Structure 1
Amino acid sequence: MPLESPISFLTSALASSQLSSSNFDLDVASGIAIFFGGKAAVSALALQPLYGQLWHGWYNAPGCHAIAWELARTLLQSSISSYSERLSLSLGIDGKKGPKYIASRSGTVMQYTRHLAYVLVNWRGRECNPVVVGLRVSPTPMELMIVDFKNKVPTGNDTLPPRSTRHSSLPIIPIATSIVACAICASVEDWLSFKMIILGMISSGITSAIMSTGQITLERLKPADGVPPGDGMLLSDTRIVILKGNEEDVNAVTKGRLRLKLKGGGYTLLLCAFIALSQATLQLVFMPFGSLPGQIMFLISLVVSGACNLYLSAKEDDVQSSALITLLNSPEVKTYQASSRASAAVLACLALCWESGTPPEQVLREIVPITPRPWKAWSEFVVNNIKKKNTHFMYGRSSAGAHLGLDDREEKLLLELVDDAHAAYDQYLKDNSISIT
């Protein structure tokens, strides 16, 4: 006797007398289940413009009420000309505060930067594979990234389309689950549940497809003519990002605003909100009248798709960073894992001051303390070496702290700091093909 197909087996199990018993029903649960996972649903929708895949989202998912509310709120809070700005903020594509920025040449200090700076300082892509600098085990290791804008950063309508492949195949699982759930509902002739699952698939699919065709643009302010290069650094607790390039390109990171534009503008948003609201209303009203096997299939499709949305929501920063970095037009990136904050400070000074003539002491002052006696002596060595462009780190040990009267403990700290500086100095010169004598 031939084996039964998996769908036939599941159908017979769901239609068994135990599940069909009147003492067991899911009428209320099947109706209110659509209201769970709203935040995750909005996060998953926000990733669609970054993936750019029309087939994503074609599954029966919970949280459509949250999508309807978010899109309607965007329309209510925006004028026709600024809906793209409000939409990018509502979906989390823009709006996060970046770290402090200090321009080494102009002296400009920004306590907070914009979304792209936040993305850059949290970027952990394959391009960020760091070179380890120094052997000392320090309680304050730091990562330093040098981003050199060799290519112009396109903005406005010329903005490069952001794209990511991170976790892009995951929606296959909820799509397949929803299709199987529909097939089982049809096999038990529960056409109401069948239609409600199909409704969820089509509603979510249309909304996701529309969002996937949205155009993300980068808007920036044009700097005044004659301004110096925009070299500077972004400072976070565990990472320093050096930005090198024209003021206009650096501004794209520190001051740039992201916009999400849809064909049809606000009318398209209204359509998406109406579709999501219709799905929530119809499923809430009609699903309690489905059969028990149909309700079970409906809930299974929601659970699987909700889990997918929740996972994508947890990985939102990862997907967003890999996608939005493409807006910067492939800058040259070099990353160092410095053993201590002192090593990172020396690398930052070399990157910003070696060729530009920027005073190294003002860079050091922003990263490490230079007033305590050991740090003061150390900073003098670092500044002198960079200003003289020594091709080997010079350290006058005999006069290291004599005029400052350093005790044994302070002298020991100074020697450790000098070792950190020496390692960073040699590594940077080696990587930049500067001859070491």
Structure 2
Amino acid sequence: MPPIPLQHSDFTLDASGVAGFFGGDEAISAMATVHMYESRKWLGWYNSPGSYTVAKRYGQLANSRFWDGLFPGGNVSPAVMFELDNMKGPTYHGLHSGAVIPQTGHLAHLFVSECKAMEANYRTEGRITRPAGVTIAELSHVPPLELGPKLSLPVSSALLSAIPIAVSWGTCIVCGVFRDWWCCSMILLGIVSSGLSCFVIGSGKCTFSRPSVASAAPDGDGLLVTDNDIVVLKGREEVIDAIIMGKFSIQYSDDSEPHPERRNIGLCSLLLTVQFLAQLLLIPQGTLFGQIMFLTSLAFSWGYNSWLSSLDKAKLQRDMLIEKVLNKPPMKKYELGTRTAMVVFVILALGKQLEEPRKLLESLLPNDTKVWKRWKDTVLERLKMGGEICFQKDEWDVEGYSESERNLLKTLYEDAEAAWRTHRKRSQIAG
């Protein structure tokens, strides 16, 4: 039997005071990806730090008076806790139904965020105050009423998870070899509690769902409108509803019951609490070498959790929506120099699909001064006539307007001309 390293040292490394708290935020953030990847729930078998913080957070998913007493803080839905249903989307304008939804949901927010992140296929020439984007999405794939989208786990991620797993098991075995059973058992307890928690919490099924649509529903073309971006949605009502009224949720095995208790999650959170208390009491009983092994396993696990936390979870959700739900619809983005040009371009892009262009123009540009009223009347008249949009000096150099009003009118006409040139370029690209 070899001598235990550092066994004659008088120094005691009391790591137990931080073991349950250190790295808790990273562990919680890392767990947020467990429902998005296939097989991710099997990769939690390492001595993860922050057991007490994780237990307090996810214990709130358990739903009964007993669990509420152990883990106070109110019950929230799993989708909200894992940030799958916590964002508000932009305003929606239905082009055929006339419906206006002032605030859409999480999936509309994801879709608009994806459009904002896209590179523009064409950038307009002309005046630029604050660049405004117009994305035209051709939505042809109708998703089912319910779907379980999951991303494939990258090989690099699976290989990286082997590092904390190997280190945790290795340090546990080394402590056993040198008969430091206190630290050996505490590392093993951390591995078991973390692995079981990851498996149980990750066993929830991430589900996409959308409302059913009446057979007589009108076409679903519409607009998602933000301050500086407009997304044109072209497709059937079922696809549009998937974006503006669909949602992601997480379903556990007992969620079909009237009052799901989610007892398994409560038991895992209780185990994590027991782990914290056991480490608090028993790690100081181990040798200095065993305590170093314990901290080593925590350090590698914290590093892995930090890497998982750094992943762009919103981007992963957008990938699930775009790739798995909507089947990668073709989208093209155009960048205009001003909001005025953006609105005119949208009306031009919609063409005959837009039955009442004035109504949309007034909605998106509510300015009602005499300059704006004249500009709107003139632009709508040109749109009705079709053909090239081009204005002459006598159309802004008019009687009854001050110099500043004439300059504004000229500038607005130039924006409309820039929008028409972008529309012509779009037609050439499409052709």
- Which TM-score bucket, shorter chain as reference? 0.7 to 0.9
- Identify which range, 170-179 or 189-198, moves more after superposition: 170-179
Query: Is residue 252 of structure 1 aligned with residue 242 of structure 2?
Result: yes
Amino acid at match of 1:364: L
Partner Cα distance (1:248, 1:350) in 2: 25
Amino acid at match of 2:316: V
Partner Cα distance (1:160, 1:147) in 2: 23
Question: For 1:181-240, what per-residue CA distance to the aligned partner results, in whole angstroms no more than 9, with x for missing partners?
Answer: 445545654343233223323322233234444322223333444222222222233432
Equivalences for 1:367-382 in 2 at 5 Å?
Answer: 367-372=364-369, 375-382=372-379
TM-score by length of 1: 0.79
Query: Is residue 112 of structure 1 aligned with residue 103 of structure 2?
Result: yes
Residue matched to 2:325:
327
Amino acid at match of 1:320: Q
Which residue of 119, 130, 134 corresponds with 1:140? 130
Residue matched to 2:78:
87
How far off is 1:120 after superposition? Answer: 1.4
- Identify which range, 250-259 or 174-183, moves more after superposition: 174-183
Q: What secondary structure sits across from 1:277 in the alignment?
A: helix
Q: Structure 2: which 5+ residue stretches go unaligned? A: 66-74, 256-261
How far off is 1:132 after superposition? Answer: 3.1
Equivalences for 1:400-415 in 2 at 5 Å?
Answer: 400=396, 402=398, 405=401, 407=403, 409-415=407-413
CA pair 45-360 structure 1, distance change in 2 beyond 3 A? same
Residue matched to 1:336:
334
CA pair 222-15 structure 1, distance change in 2 beyond 3 A? same
Residue matched to 1:50:
36
CA pair 194-104 structure 1, distance change in 2 beyond 3 A? same
Partner Cα distance (2:235, 2:400) in 1: 40
In 1, are the aligned partners of 2:140 and 2:236 still within 8 Å (CA)?
no
Q: Percent identity?
A: 30
Partner Cα distance (1:410, 1:204) in 2: 64
Partner Cα distance (1:291, 1:281) in 2: 19
CA pair 431-360 structure 1, distance change in 2 beyond 3 A? farther
Equivalences for 1:62-77 in 2 at 5 Å?
Answer: 62-76=49-63
Amino acid at match of 2:216: G
CA pair 348-299 structure 1, distance change in 2 beyond 3 A? farther
Question: For 1:128-185, what per-residue CA distance to the aligned partner results, in whole angstroms no more than 9, with x for missing partners?
Answer: 33213213463311222222220102222xx142326588455445335434544554
- Identify which range, 180-189 or 142-151, moves more after superposition: 180-189
Partner Cα distance (2:274, 2:359) in 1: 60
Residue matched to 2:164:
174
Which residue of 412, 416, 422 corresponds with 1:418? 416
CA pair 336-368 structure 1, distance change in 2 beyond 3 A? same
How far off is 1:73 after superposition? Answer: 1.9
CA pair 113-270 structure 1, distance change in 2 beyond 3 A? same
Query: Is residue 299 of structure 1 aligned with residue 301 of structure 2?
Result: no
Amino acid at match of 1:318: K
Which residue of 199, 212, 223 corresponds with 2:189? 199
Partner Cα distance (1:125, 1:397) in 2: 36
TM-score by length of 2: 0.80
Residue matched to 2:71:
none
CA RMSD between the two structures: 3.4
Partner Cα distance (1:336, 1:268) in 2: 50
Which residue of 231, 249, 262 corresponds with 1:241? 231
Partner Cα distance (1:275, 1:321) in 2: 34
Q: Structure 1: which 5+ residue stretches go unaligned? A: 1-10, 79-83
Amino acid at match of 1:306: W
Residue matched to 1:162:
150
Question: For 1:329-349, what per-residue CA distance to the aligned partner results, in whole angstroms no more than 9, with x for missing partners?
Answer: 332322233333233223332
Q: What secondary structure sits across from 2:63 in the alignment?
A: helix
How far off is 1:52 after superposition? Answer: 1.6
Partner Cα distance (2:162, 2:267) in 1: 26
Residue matched to 1:286:
282
Partner Cα distance (2:254, 2:170) in 1: 35
Which residue of 11, 17, 21 corresponds with 1:35? 21
CA pair 30-101 structure 1, distance change in 2 beyond 3 A? same
Residue matched to 1:269:
265
Q: What secondary structure sits across from 1:154 in the alignment?
A: coil
- Identify which range, 171-180 or 46-55, moves more after superposition: 171-180
